[in-house]
């Protein structure tokens, strides 16, 4: 990798960080009654929906498309598992809900360090775009997106 391409990638990561932080803050400010039930206890249990909404925001902000990655963590010595979803493009992970887990303190992760996420066994990966979902889901995500974006501009 050349020095200029490394600098460009770091600049892109910083732009993604700024947008992700802005979007996370808007989700925290948004009236929860205007959001789908999966986002009402944000960030807890909100990773899938939050990732899809953030992906749309990043795309509309000119930062391109990301993959939606969903993984499962099976608990040793316990019955059950935990699932988690995040965005990824190449080796960059974008995660605005990892702090729902005790091991993570940062509210927004933009990282090439996969050490925490690799504990989740990848179950699915696809382009992160709720426009590919059924009409009812698209309508719900679209309404949630508009409500959150309105909060981005309210700061």
Judged against a pLDDT cut of 80, whether residue 4 lies above it is answered with no
- The pLDDT of residue 79: 58
Residue-wise pLDDT for 10-22, tens only, equals 899 999 999 999 9
- The pLDDT of residue 155: 59
Judged against a pLDDT cut of 80, whether residue 76 lies above it is answered with no
- The pLDDT of residue 74: 81
Q: What does pTM read for this prediction? A: 0.91
Q: What percent of the chain has pLDDT over 90?
A: 84
Q: Give the confidence band of 154 by pLDDT, cuts at 50, 70, 90.
A: confident
- The pLDDT of residue 10: 80
In order of 8, 65, 101, the CA distances from 139 in angstroms are 36, 20, 30
Mean pLDDT of 115-139: 96
Judged against a pLDDT cut of 70, whether residue 9 lies above it is answered with yes
Per the prediction, the chain carries an average pLDDT of 92
């Amino acid at each position: 990798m050349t020095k200029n391409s490394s600098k460009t990638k770091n600049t892109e990561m910083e732009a993604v960080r700024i947008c992700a932080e802005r979007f996370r803050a808007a989700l925290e400010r948004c009236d929860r009654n205007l959001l789908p039930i999966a986002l009402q206890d944000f960030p807890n249990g909100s990773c899938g929906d939050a990732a899809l909404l953030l992906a749309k925001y990043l795309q509309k902000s000119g930062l391109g498309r990301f993959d939606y990655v969903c993984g499962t963590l099976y608990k040793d010595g316990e019955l059950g598992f935990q699932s988690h979803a995040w965005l990824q493009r190449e080796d960059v992970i974008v995660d605005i809900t990892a702090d729902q887990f005790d091991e993570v303190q940062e509210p927004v992760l933009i990282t090439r360090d996969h050490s925490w996420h690799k504990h989740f066994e990848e179950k699915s990966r696809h382009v992160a775009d709720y426009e590919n979902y059924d009409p009812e889901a698209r309508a719900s995500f679209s309404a949630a997106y508009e409500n959150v974006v309105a909060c981005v501009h309210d700061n």
